[in-house]
Amino acid sequence: MPVADSCPPAHLRPSPSRRADRDAWQTAAACAGLPPRVVFSKKAKEAAPALRACARCAVRSACEEAVAPAENWFDGVCGGRLWRSGRPVAVPTHLAPAAGTPSVPTSASTLRGGLLG
């Protein structure tokens, strides 16, 4: 009995160059050299280096679009925010990136009034 090939036909697979383009944001990410325990931490104190990296990252939008943290119960830092179970988490002011960095909630009132309505 022949064994079915588990891979899709060649015409349905993304070409290596398209796959590389789609994932290029990962190598350009400011957090690329950080340990996974920092990037995927649920705790603001442990995630602070990733939040600081995110503040100066040129691919924040591409990261958030690709990861879709709110749709995937994501834990960690993505798109300039700390996420826990797909929800943005308040970051204490003393751990937040430098002033003027958008998209990083710094208190529960920010979350209630803005991100979580």
CB atoms within 10 A of CB 80: 22
Contact indicator for 28, 58 with CB cutoff of 8 Å: yes
**Cα gap 65→71, rounded to integer Å:** 10
Report CA dihedral (95, 100, 103, 108) to the nearest 10 degrees.
50
pLDDT score at 39: 95
pLDDT score at 76: 96
pLDDT score at 49: 95
pLDDT score at 13: 46
Which of 88 and 10 is assigned the larger pLDDT? 88
Span 20-67, pLDDT tens digits: 555 788 889 999 999 999 999 999 999 999 999 999 999 999 999 999
Percent residues over pLDDT 70 in the chain: 64
**Predicted confidence (pLDDT) at residue 80 exceeds the cutoff of 50:** yes
pLDDT score at 26: 87
pLDDT score at 96: 81
Contact indicator for 79, 63 with CB cutoff of 8 Å: yes
Residue type present at position 60: R
**Predicted confidence (pLDDT) at residue 75 exceeds the cutoff of 80:** yes
pLDDT score at 20: 56
The DSSP output letter for 9 is: P
Which of 41 and 9 is assigned the larger pLDDT? 41
